[in-house]
Amino acid sequence: MTSKQTEKSNSGVRPATGRLGILTPGLGAVATTFMAGVESIRRGHSKPIGSLTQMATIRLGKRTDNRSPLIKDFIPLASLDDIVFGAWDPIPDDALTAARKAGVLDERDLAPIAAFLEAIKPMPAVFDNHYVTRINGANVKTGKNKRELGEALRKDIRDFKAQHKLDRLVVVWCASTEIYLKPGPSHATLTAFEKAMDENDDQIAPSMLYAWAALMEGVPFCNGAPNLSVDIPALLELANEKGVPISGKDFKTGQTWLKTVIAPGIKARMLGLKGWYSTNILGNRDGEVLDDPASFKTKEESKLSVLHTILQPDKYPDLYKDFSHVVRINYYPPRGDNKEGWDNIDIVGWMNYPMQIKINFLCRDSILAAPIVLDLALFSDFAHRAGMKGIQEWLSFYYKSPMAAAGLQPEHDLFIQQTKLKNTLRHLMGEEQITHLGLEYYA
């Protein structure tokens, strides 16, 4: 028996046999960069940089045991070779055309996998201009009401599974950010939600129909955008009833990722914060959608939420009471997907002396997001096989605005999130959790 098999033998997790379908509502910059990257990795053209499932190790047992396998050798994850991709999009472009338009990847990376990408054609989307005002597309489903549209998505999922002889599926929302909606009565219970679908209620956005369809088909759903989607009580109820994992919201990629690295550092040193000003210029289609104030409002809520839960002003009023936090995104076409973010952080030290931290992050949004899509899909599939259901808080690591159980604050600190993620894997595989207490030194 190889050491790889030994590591995996202790758990009750169902093995990752057969093929895994990954379906993305949205075939834009993030989805195509993700698909192109996985195919390049499968062909040995690149390494899975940025992916924990592929590159990270996990320490097991005591430090002296020297056991630190790769996560993918420790838990039974689907292999990249067993993944099949599919998507929905109101714009009919195949993945090659969409990737070229997105302008994230160079032609030298796209050319060798052109035929592969060309074969991925989006299924007609459930799309309504009311929820994403800046996009118009002809590849759209019609139906007499939202229930019928949801049923059509369910059929797509079943047909895709049969056509590609898949064992399991995961859906990851990679579509545009919808306008801001607040949870209301039609989201409160599954009965109210389904009644609202029948009545074509405005409160039921397309992203909710995709989530409903996935859950009805017993398929895990991950939400990469800040719109509510699966983050409503009705769909949590459905996820629990069907025994399916869900997670969201909004991939934690550029500026917010850095925020959740720097803020815990400031707090760990008990330094004060007077203000944090964040601005971005961004020129891709996502930037164009976010140029609409209603979509930006959804994003802003998601980006603003992180600092308060990390800094806990109620517990540390002398350090963090009333700090100002401003987030701006400006659509600036010349930059394309290569976003530039500036952060000005006004901190306070000993005897109230002010200091400033300036961060200028020239990042590539979709390059940071693609490995997150992969990890979320593989971990959600793993969680499903491990018998997990409902909100997967251990996947908060990947989200700007993590879903949490009712009445609980989500955890935003990247390092606490990382510890929680790894301890969940240890727990599910029957290994001891690691607290870093070093108890081996005590009698």
Ligand X SMILES: NC(=O)c1ccc[n+]([C@@H]2O[C@H](COP(=O)([O-])OP(=O)(O)OC[C@H]3O[C@@H](n4cnc5c(N)ncnc54)[C@H](O)[C@@H]3O)[C@@H](O)[C@H]2O)c1
Q: Under the rule (CB under 6 A), what is the footprint of ligand X? A: 25-31, 88-91, 102, 125-127, 132, 135, 137, 174-177, 206, 224-225, 250-251, 253-254, 284-286, 289, 365-366, 368-369
Cβ atoms within 10 A of the Cβ of 409, count?
11
Q: How far is the CB of 261 from ligand X (least distance, A)?
A: 16
Joined together, the tokens standing for residue 300 give 């802003």
Please, are residues 205 and 249 in contact by the beta-carbon 8 Å criterion?
no
Question: Tokens 């209620």 appear where?
Answer: 201
- 237 vs 291 by CB, closer to ligand X: 291
- 225 vs 388 by CB, closer to ligand X: 225
- 286 vs 381 by CB, closer to ligand X: 286
Please, are residues 327 and 304 in contact by the beta-carbon 8 Å criterion?
yes
- 319 vs 373 by CB, closer to ligand X: 373
Joined together, the tokens standing for residue 141 give 């489903």
Q: How far is the CB of 31 from ligand X (least distance, A)?
A: 6
Q: How far is the CB of 206 from ligand X (least distance, A)?
A: 4
Cβ atoms within 10 A of the Cβ of 47, count?
12
Question: Per DSSP, what are the bridge partners of residue 247?
Answer: 222
Q: How far is the CB of 157 from ligand X (least distance, A)?
A: 14
Q: How far is the CB of 80 from ligand X (least distance, A)?
A: 21
Cβ atoms within 10 A of the Cβ of 168, count?
21
- 258 vs 347 by CB, closer to ligand X: 258
Give me the half-sphere count of Cα atoms (radius 13 Å) on the Cβ side of residue 139: 16
Q: CA–CA separation, 302 vs 434, rounded Å?
A: 31
- 149 vs 266 by CB, closer to ligand X: 149
- 134 vs 389 by CB, closer to ligand X: 134
3-state secondary structure of 341: strand
DSSP track, 179-198:
PP----GGGTSHHHHHHHHH
Q: How far is the CB of 37 from ligand X (least distance, A)?
A: 13
Q: Which residue is nearest to ligand X (CB)?
A: 28
- The DSSP 8-state label assigned to residue 80 in this structure reads G
Q: How far is the CB of 284 from ligand X (least distance, A)?
A: 5
Closest residue by Cα to residue 25 from 195, 156, 134:
156
Joined together, the tokens standing for residue 393 give 């808080």
Q: How far is the CB of 331 from ligand X (least distance, A)?
A: 12
- 319 vs 370 by CB, closer to ligand X: 370
3-state secondary structure of 347: strand
- 8 vs 187 by CB, closer to ligand X: 187
- 19 vs 303 by CB, closer to ligand X: 303
Query: CB-based burial of residue 235 (10 Å sphere; 0-12 exposed, 13-18 middle, 19+ buried)?
Result: buried
Q: Please give the backbone phi and psi of residue 390, each rounded to the nearest 5 degrees, phi first.
A: 75, -155
DSSP track, 229-290:
TT-SHHHHHHHHHHT-EEEESSB--SHHHHHHHHHHHHHHTT-EEEEEEEEEEE-SHHHHHH
Please, are residues 403 and 391 in contact by the beta-carbon 8 Å criterion?
yes
Q: Cβ neighbours of residue 340 under 8 Å, at least 6 residues apart? A: 280, 281, 360, 361, 362, 363
Q: How far is the CB of 71 from ligand X (least distance, A)?
A: 23
C-alpha separations of 257 from 235, 250, 251 in Å: 27, 11, 9
Please, are residues 366 and 316 in contact by the beta-carbon 8 Å criterion?
no
Is beta strand 168-173 parallel, antiparallel or unpaired with respect to 221-223? parallel
- 11 vs 176 by CB, closer to ligand X: 176
- 177 vs 260 by CB, closer to ligand X: 177
Q: How far is the CB of 135 from ligand X (least distance, A)?
A: 5
Please, are residues 392 and 247 in contact by the beta-carbon 8 Å criterion?
yes
Q: How far is the CB of 45 from ligand X (least distance, A)?
A: 22
Q: How far is the CB of 156 from ligand X (least distance, A)?
A: 11
